[in-house]
Structure 1
Amino acid sequence: MTWTVPEIDRRHEPYVADERSMLQGWLDLHRDTLQHKCAGLTAEQLRTPSVEPSGLTLLGLVRHMADVERWWFRHRAAALDLPDLYDYSTDPDADLNDIADVDPAEAFATLRAEIEAADRAVADLPLDHTFRLRRGDTVNEISLRWVYVHMIEEYARHNGHADLIRERVDGVTGS
C-alpha cells in the first residue's frame, strides 16, 4: 500500500476575538491549509515540482515551514538554542531542495511537532515581547506580534504556491 498524506480537519479563524486569539486562529488556519493542500497525495506526487525552471514542491514547502516555525517562534522569539533541522552547509535552501530521499511521513510529523513546540514556546510570552535580529549592518527590534503576522503572511504566500503545485499534480483546485 502506498502512503498518502492523511486528510486534516482545518480549524477556522475566529470572527470575533481578542488580538492573540485572532492571530493564533489565522495562523492555525494557514498551518492546516498547507497540510490540507497535500492531503491524499503520494510521496511521488509530493516531490513533483511546480513548473520549470522552479523546483518547488509540496514536500519542500512542508519542510520549509517546519524550519520557519522553529526559527521564528523557538529560536528567535523564545531565544532557545536549537540545531538546524536540515543541513545548510552546502545549500542555503536545503529544506526546499534536498527532498529525493525524504520520508514524507517523517516530514509531516516534523512539521506537526514544530508547530506544537512553537505554540508551547511562546504561550506565556506577551505579544509585545521583543528580541533583536541582525540583518546585514542593521539590528532590528522585533515583537512577537510581528512574528505572528509574518508567519501568517509566510503561510499565505506558500499556500498560494501549494494551490498551483497541487493543481499541476492532480488537477485539484479550491480552498
Structure 2
Amino acid sequence: MDALPDTRQMLLHYLHDARESLLWKVDGLSERALRMPRTSTGTNLLGLIKHAASIESGYFGEVFDRPWPTPEEMPWEDRLDEDPNADFYALPDEPAAQILDLYRRVAEFADATITDLPLDAPGRVPWWGERGDVTLQRIIVHVIFDLSRHAGHADILREEIDGAVGLVPRATNIPDIDQDAYVAKLRAIAQQFPADDRTTA
C-alpha cells in the first residue's frame, strides 16, 4: 500500500486541479464569448477568472501579511464599495489575455505562500470579522472549496456555449454514452411529476 501523501502536497494537488478546471473552461473562446453574461445574475467566464485572481491574491497575500506586490494590476479592488461586482466582470480596457496572465502569476504567488509557510501559520482575514483568525491550512481548504464552486459555474457556462464538458483535460469524468438519449430519459422521468409555478418545463 502506498504511503499517505504529504498534507501540503495533497492540498496543492487539489488546488492545482481546481485552477486547471477553471482555466480549461475559458480556453479557445473569443473576447465576446468570455465576457457575455450567461445567467440572470450576470455570471460570465472571464469574470470568474478575474474573481479567482482576487480570491487567491487576498487569501494567500494580505491574510498572511504577504500583499500582492503590484496592487495597481487589480484596480477593481478599490471600486468594490461602489461596485460590489467589480471583480466579476472585465472592463473593455481589460483584455482577456491580461487577466489570464495575471491569474497565472497570482497562482504562482499563492503557491509560494503555501510552500514558504508552515500549515499552522497564523493569518487574519479582515473581511471575516470576529472569526477572522485562521491558519494557512484552513485557508487552503477554503480556497479549494471556493475555486471548485466557481469551476462548477464555469463548467455549466461552457457547456451552454459549445458543449465542451468535463473535469480536467486529462480526465473528463464524462461517460462515453449517447448524451441525447440520456437527457431524453431524464426528461421523461421528470415529466411524470407535476410542474409548479417556479418551473418553465
TM-score between both structures, scaled by the size of structure 1: 0.82
Hey, what's the Cα distance between the residues in 2 that align with 1:133 and 1:101? 31
Q: CA RMSD in A?
A: 2.0
1:91-129 CA distances to partner (integer Å, 9 max, x unpaired)? 122010343442000010000011111112332210001
Cα distance, 1:173–1:136 mapped onto 2, change above 3 Å: closer
Paired residue secondary structure (2:94) = coil
Give the number of equivalent residue pairs. Answer: 159
Task: Report 1:160-171 matches (<5 A).
Answer: 160-171=152-163
Matched, 1:40 2:28: yes
**Larger Cα-atom Rg:** 2
Match of 2:138 among 146, 152, 157: 146
1:142-163 CA distances to partner (integer Å, 9 max, x unpaired)? 0100111011101110011001
Hey, what's the Cα distance between the residues in 1 that align with 2:102 and 2:145? 21
Matched, 1:107 2:96: no
Shift of 1:17: 1.1
Hey, what's the Cα distance between the residues in 2 that align with 1:172 and 1:120? 32
**Structure 2: where are the runs of 5+ without partners?**
168-201
Q: Which moved more, 1:122-131 or 1:86-95?
A: 86-95
Hey, what's the Cα distance between the residues in 1 that align with 2:99 and 2:23? 11
Task: Report 1:1-16 matches (<5 A).
Answer: 16=4
Identity %: 34
Shift of 1:66: 0.6
Q: Which residue of 2 aligns with 1:122?
A: 114
Q: Which residue of 2 aligns with 1:54?
A: 41
**Structure 1: where are the runs of 5+ without partners?**
1-14
